[in-house]
Structure 1
């Protein structure tokens, strides 16, 4: 089918919700080609300040920037503070407190997983005729076969079950009683993929994505969940790994770990360029939605369990915290229709929104086909037509074990600088990571290079579409709009107060996105309102489903040194 015709009709059909009606007509097979392909790219532990479109000059991310500048930069997009909860929220459209997954990530040998009574995103899309694939990190449980990706709606899987592994050897480690237990963790569908040892993980997943696109049946929609392990740290003692040639190209970054991290980000950016170019070659790009986000902020504190030297600056906090640096994600959505009017969006979006939103974009009816008790909100029409967000509130988390909680609420007030309020109760890690980390500004950083964006693979692919691509002056304007600058007064360092460990803190995010000024003492009514809302959510909380490690039953030594399903 002509790509220009398909491109013009697909958003209209999706917005009007006519797919379900038309599917019963004789040309239902032709209708399938109108359903957009959907690619969700989830970076792992990438910081707000590690992409070019947020104003950082240090790490070149031209392919990501090209898509962001030609799409919609989601500057007000929130996720969960750590890996497993974010992935659970994305897959189910539910707050982790309603799944029992609001705590720390699932660890190797832990007999738990995303509860199987919940239908998840690939299952819904498969109902609409999608071919569904996952590459990279699952991290939603694997101790029983029913928790594996192929049993949860995916047609294929290449990746790791745990939260991290080596980038070349695919070994995952966990410390138990002072001893490291090590096992291989890379699977093709449900079989260990030893043959890939020695291939750099980001390149492996990129190559598999290109192959899936090349082999994809014409006329059938694709859902590709590209859940990169990059840029999470890997082994103890060898946290960061990247091809040495890429590391050497970034010598202006003096700190050696930060330089390797930058190389890892750069390789992930290359992967995005390869993917976009493959979609162009198959004439699939014009009818593909590409959503990019990070699962949480970077663990920029060097005393983290798995630090990666990322940067959330100037946002406060790190991975694991409820500060903006932990839960505000670098994100964008690209679709060919957005290219005619790219923008920086302040629409309020939470990661739970993507299940109903993408389901509607795929032609489903989120009002009739999805459970009524989802926490996610269908934002497709708001995004498509640049309307006000349908969300006015987001629960950031309630962790009953850490005794911490956070919530953001939008108030309907004529003053645009007093609409967005955030309440933080308690603190992750007893307040030790409540400050600002890893300000990477340096006179040694090169000037931002728009020509590098214009000449990258992704941008060149976009120029083949019907719509014009974004020019340099527009990119510069969008970059300025998407940049947060909080350097106006107080020094931003790791010991910043207030810590909110004794009493709740209140912040006005419209005026203070870096959470420097606690307004709780002078706004007791707002504090009470948000605190009462947290208490309502607390009543619906499902206790955390974490379990003690099942050792020696899960020990890789029992399964040819692989982290394997062990309970049947």
Structure 2
């Protein structure tokens, strides 16, 4: 891999968009076009050219102000890409998918309120992604779907849209489903279950549940229909409100005394409850913000979902977490993180 050092000092969102625009401009319209544009926005470190931050001078919190500028820069970059698609005459034959990969990082300007938790946690604030699809091919436009959709569903969905077919005789079936009817016509999702995570590397939490088919000390989360089960260490479970917007600027919410500081300390928030607890059950349809743990009230649901976690765990590929390799040091590769083997 060669690093283009001539681009040093240029903001990645603008750089990525510029490259995408060049590819669009040189594209032969008689052939199909697929583009995956994974912006680094919005992610730490919080940096963006000053012109994007200056328009948010009314936001007192430094992280939140910079974050807003980064979102604006990304929005401009996406707008530039869509402008190129229009100028090329293929916008009306395009499906645009915009999707996040996880919840916001509260300590770096993000917000998931009123959802519980943040990036890295198994609460909805960490795993409940948002997104939208824009296309003239949508049957029902302007709708909002709360159906289950997982990142693995994009592959079979996009293959289907491109006219391809997924073989039905695969030795191991795909994890994903074609969810275009769900997106386009607001139909029920073919996905009824969603494995959020099974993490055998995180330190076990609490004591195992008696007579359980799955070790509840292990960090894991599963959604099945309306029900969501969490085991092990779920990560920070706070509900963190954003600073209040007022006509005179931003007013710090009383529950967040650190909102005006450059960095919120990790211990500013609490996970709430017994630190030895390692099992939760929520009815997400009726309690999307995870206030009411029903694990004691519905042991039947708990047992059923623990069996599903055990099944996933038994079929999982073993983790590979190699030790640090000094040969990966960027100083050995021109100051950049690149493949080294």
TM-score by shorter chain over 0.5: yes
Name the SS of the counterpart of 1:532 in structure 2: helix
Shift of 1:426: 1.6
Cα distance change of structure 1 residues 511 and 495 upon mapping to structure 2, 3 Å threshold: same
Counterpart of 1:413 in structure 2 is: none
| 1:435 has 2:235 as partner | no
| 1:399 has 2:199 as partner | yes
| 1:207 has 2:50 as partner | no
Cα distance change of structure 1 residues 505 and 499 upon mapping to structure 2, 3 Å threshold: farther
| 1:539 has 2:314 as partner | yes
| 1:224 has 2:35 as partner | yes
Taking the aligned partners of 2:274 and 2:160, their CA distance within structure 1 comes to: 41
Cα distance change of structure 1 residues 253 and 547 upon mapping to structure 2, 3 Å threshold: same
- Summarize deviations over 1:473-520 as a string: whole Å, max 9, x none: xxxxxxxxxxxxxxxxxxxx9435346852311111111100011011
Cα distance change of structure 1 residues 519 and 253 upon mapping to structure 2, 3 Å threshold: same
Name the SS of the counterpart of 1:337 in structure 2: coil
Counterpart of 1:143 in structure 2 is: none
**Unpaired runs of 5+ in structure 2?**
203-217, 250-267
Check whether the contact 2:159–2:166 (CA below 8 A) recurs between aligned residues. yes
Name the SS of the counterpart of 1:507 in structure 2: strand
Taking the aligned partners of 1:404 and 1:340, their CA distance within structure 2 comes to: 39
Taking the aligned partners of 2:67 and 2:169, their CA distance within structure 1 comes to: 42
Check whether the contact 1:424–1:500 (CA below 8 A) recurs between aligned residues. no
State the structure with bigger RCO (CA 8 A, min sep 6), 1 or 2.
1
Taking the aligned partners of 1:372 and 1:340, their CA distance within structure 2 comes to: 34
Taking the aligned partners of 1:218 and 1:519, their CA distance within structure 2 comes to: 55
Check whether the contact 2:227–2:282 (CA below 8 A) recurs between aligned residues. yes
**TM-score of the superposed pair, with normalisation by structure 1:** 0.52
Cα distance change of structure 1 residues 193 and 444 upon mapping to structure 2, 3 Å threshold: farther
Greater strand share, structure number: 1
Cα distance change of structure 1 residues 270 and 345 upon mapping to structure 2, 3 Å threshold: same
Check whether the contact 2:139–2:185 (CA below 8 A) recurs between aligned residues. no
| 1:565 has 2:320 as partner | no
Cα distance change of structure 1 residues 213 and 369 upon mapping to structure 2, 3 Å threshold: farther
Shift of 1:383: 2.8
Counterpart of 2:153 in structure 1 is: 353
Cα distance change of structure 1 residues 210 and 339 upon mapping to structure 2, 3 Å threshold: farther
Cα-Cα RMSD: 2.0
Shift of 1:377: 1.2
- Summarize deviations over 1:309-355 as a string: whole Å, max 9, x none: 11111111111111111111121111112276321112211111111
Check whether the contact 2:85–2:91 (CA below 8 A) recurs between aligned residues. yes
Taking the aligned partners of 1:250 and 1:290, their CA distance within structure 2 comes to: 28
Q: When the two structures are aligned, how many residues end up with a matched partner?
A: 308
